[in-house]
């Protein structure tokens, strides 16, 4: 799968190494050296993927992700950082990053992560374009509905009662997976598999972060969820609140 990729990295040697590997994979690559230039490039070119260093001049990587998601831009973001604590990694995911790698890393591993992100984004209806000979996506194109919640994999769209909901690619993957089997309890480990590719430091708390943000977007009262429920000691399930209300005895 060929894609347009922006690398935002102020370490010139590191950026050049990553560029060479990604171009060898057939991608079109643009390199910028600070966060502000990364924002300008994404706004101007709407790339498929942003490979983003956290520690950069002018605007750091975390602020870049925060701004892009606030603008509603769904570009895939693979963050690179020398930080390795779980809290740092969760913060990046919390802001809307799709994957995270800690330095030092293998360029071959990075290209594998890129392939995974682009493939999963294509399967969920994202903007990356596959070659003409690519196989059909494994995820069905039919829209999924759970009550008034509607997920359209072909268009990568989510709505509640007709009102559009903006989701990050990670949030979308979790929601689409759960919508295929309403009322099934999904363990955190199963949902982590839907988020395949995250750094080894990431734990099942990653899922909790995504669930928290999804509830803010699809629940009427996020602190008293009615459709995205916790099954204590097991995981989460997606249900139709109207159906559940009908089954409540007076």
Going from N- to C-terminal start, the domains of the chain cover 4-123, 144-246
Fold classification of 4-123 is Rossmann fold (3.40.50)
**Residue matched to tokens 């995911």:** 93
Q: How far apart are the first and last CA of the chain?
A: 56
pLDDT, greater one: 246 or 77: 77
Section 46-54 average pLDDT: 93
φ and ψ at 214, to 5 degrees?
A: -65, -40
Weakest mean pLDDT among 74-78, 129-133, 157-161, 206-210: 129-133
Asked if pLDDT for residue 5 goes beyond 70, the answer is: yes
Q: Tens digit of pLDDT for each residue in 89-143? A: 667 777 888 888 888 888 888 888 888 788 766 655 554 443 333 333 344 458 8
Integer Cα distance of 142 and 27 in angstroms = 30
Q: What is the pLDDT of residue 238?
A: 96
Q: What is the pLDDT of residue 103?
A: 81
Cβ(156)–Cβ(72) under 8 Å? no
pLDDT band at 39 (very low <50, low <70, confident <90, very high): very high
pLDDT band at 48 (very low <50, low <70, confident <90, very high): very high
Q: What is the pLDDT of residue 133?
A: 32
pTM of the predicted model over 0.85: no
Give the percent of the chain with pLDDT over 90.
Answer: 44
Cβ(68)–Cβ(46) under 8 Å? no
pLDDT band at 201 (very low <50, low <70, confident <90, very high): very low
pLDDT, greater one: 237 or 123: 237
Nearest to 169 by CA among 71, 48, 52: 48
CATH 3.40.630.30 fits 144-246, yes or no: no
What average pLDDT does the chain have? 82
Q: What is the pLDDT of residue 92?
A: 75
């Amino acid at each position: 799968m060929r894609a347009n990729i922006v690398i935002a990295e102020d370490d010139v040697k590191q950026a050049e190494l990553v560029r060479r590997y990604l171009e060898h994979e057939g991608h079109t690559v643009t390199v910028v050296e600070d966060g502000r230039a990364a924002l300008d490039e994404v706004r101007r070119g709407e790339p498929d993927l942003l490979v983003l260093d956290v520690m950069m001049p002018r605007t750091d990587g975390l602020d870049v992700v925060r701004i892009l998601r606030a603008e509603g831009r769904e570009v895939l973001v693979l963050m690179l950082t020398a930080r390795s604590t779980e809290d740092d990694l969760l913060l990046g995911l919390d802001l809307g990053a799709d994957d995270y790698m800690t330095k030092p890393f293998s360029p071959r591993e990075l290209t594998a992560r890129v392939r995974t992100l682009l493939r999963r984004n294509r399967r969920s209806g994202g903007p990356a374009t596959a070659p003409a000979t690519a196989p059909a996506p494994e995820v069905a194109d039919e829209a999924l509905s759970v009550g008034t919640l509607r997920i359209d994999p072909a268009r990568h769209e989510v709505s509640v009662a007709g009102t559009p909901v903006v989701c990050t690619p990670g949030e979308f993957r979790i929601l689409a997976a759960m919508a295929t089997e309403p009322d099934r309890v999904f363990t955190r480990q199963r949902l982590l598999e839907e988020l395949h590719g995250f750094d080894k430091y990431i734990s099942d708390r990653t899922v909790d972060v995504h669930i928290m943000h999804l509830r803010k977007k699809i629940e009427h009262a996020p602190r008293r969820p009615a459709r995205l429920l916790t099954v204590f000691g097991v995981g989460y399930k997606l249900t139709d609140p109207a159906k559940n209300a009908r089954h409540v005895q007076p």
